[in-house]
Amino acid sequence: MKPAAFSYHRAHDVADAVGLLGELAAAGEEPKLIAGGQSLIPMMNFRLARPTVLVDMGLLRRDPAMSSIRRAGSELRIGALTTHRAVETAGHTLGPEFDVISRAMRWVGHLPIRSRGTVAGSIVHGDATAEWCLLALLLDAVIVAEGPNGQREIPAAEMFYGFYATAVEPDEVVVEVRFTRPAPRAALTEFARRHGDFATVDAAVALDADPVAEAGPLTGGRVVLGGVAPAPIRIPEAEAVLAGGVPGPDLFTACGEAAAAAIDPPDDAAGTGAYRRRLTRTLVAQALHEAWEESTSDWVSV
């Protein structure tokens, strides 16, 4: 299919993009930003999205900050127009504390998609199964958006409202994503009928352990699921199982069971709710095992 008719503008910098969005909206238009276009264009082709105007962000790649990956103290900061592939190949720039991000990129579509799609584009798109959305919740991301009144920071916990709905306003441009929760023991895994397809269910986990006595009980953990609700969600019932538990197959299985019991996933063409619960049980346990097997020494030796 072909998209519905639309007009096209090209922004020269962030201020220009914000101004264009405001002017177009005031004129009764329904503008939409486009960066890599790997999510928006397919939806337009199927007439699932019908913006009347596209504002192209391509020229903003000339600003190094918009395509940067850098550490700032304990945080990882990624420019809005950084591609999935750039993150996948960032290596030691991320450090062991955020290595889960680069490892998760293998699940993002195929190489051409990873080479054009952008970090902010995926998060603002708000797909409930998008890897970046799960990572944002897992690692306490802060989404920095610039609008007519300046910049504001949106915590990931307040970012995702429901089906493709986020807290970013129509006249705002995301300029950076800051990941504030280091997680040296973390993993993301998913199931799709074909690699590169949208996930039926995906799970992201992090394990917290005493760095002095890592063989002892866990001090906590985090479990995030996609594909089981209109937006990606944390599962506190599963996280409660991890706190004080001794890492191993029994604990990881129990955590998967708790996660499956806590959700009420939908029935749709991709699978029934019962099927998604079974996937959740397996994927959470699998991700926890992978996260526990990851260690700083292993990562450095690769």
Q: Round to whole Å and give the CA distance between 116 and 67.
A: 12
Q: What is the pLDDT of residues 280-291, one digit of tens each?
A: 999 999 999 999
Would you say 34 and 54 are in contact if contact means Cβ atoms under 8 Å apart?
Answer: yes
Q: What is the pLDDT of residue 302?
A: 30
- Over range 44-56, report the average pLDDT: 93
Q: What is the pLDDT of residue 1?
A: 72
Model pTM?
Answer: 0.94
Terminal alpha carbon distance of the chain: 45
- Which of 71-75, 104-108, 188-192, 297-301 is predicted least confidently? 297-301
Q: What is the pLDDT of residue 104?
A: 97
| pLDDT band, very low/low/confident/very high, at 62 (cuts 50, 70, 90) | very high
- Give the residue ranges of DSSP H helices in the chain: 14-26, 40-45, 84-88, 99-104, 111-116, 119-125, 131-138, 236-242, 249-262, 273-293, 296-301
Q: Among residues 212, 252, 256, which one has the least CA distance to residue 235?
A: 256
Q: What is the pLDDT of residue 297?
A: 41
Q: Among residues 154, 151, 208, which one has the least CA distance to residue 178?
A: 154
Would you say 158 and 228 are in contact if contact means Cβ atoms under 8 Å apart?
Answer: no
- Over range 263-278, report the average pLDDT: 95
Would you say 240 and 224 are in contact if contact means Cβ atoms under 8 Å apart?
Answer: no
| pLDDT band, very low/low/confident/very high, at 213 (cuts 50, 70, 90) | low
Q: Among residues 153, 82, 125, which one has the least CA distance to residue 232?
A: 125
Q: What is the pLDDT of residue 214?
A: 55
Query: Above pLDDT 70, what percent of the chain?
Result: 96
Q: What is the pLDDT of residue 153?
A: 98
For residue 263, the 8-state DSSP code is -
Q: What is the pLDDT of residues 136-172, one digit of tens each?
A: 999 999 999 999 999 999 999 999 999 999 999 999 9
Q: What is the pLDDT of residue 296?
A: 35
Q: Among residues 104, 103, 106, 67, which one has the least CA distance to residue 86?
A: 67
Question: Has residue 299 got a pLDDT over 80?
Answer: no
Q: What is the pLDDT of residues 226-254, one digit of tens each?
A: 999 999 999 999 999 999 999 999 999 99
Question: Has residue 295 got a pLDDT over 80?
Answer: no
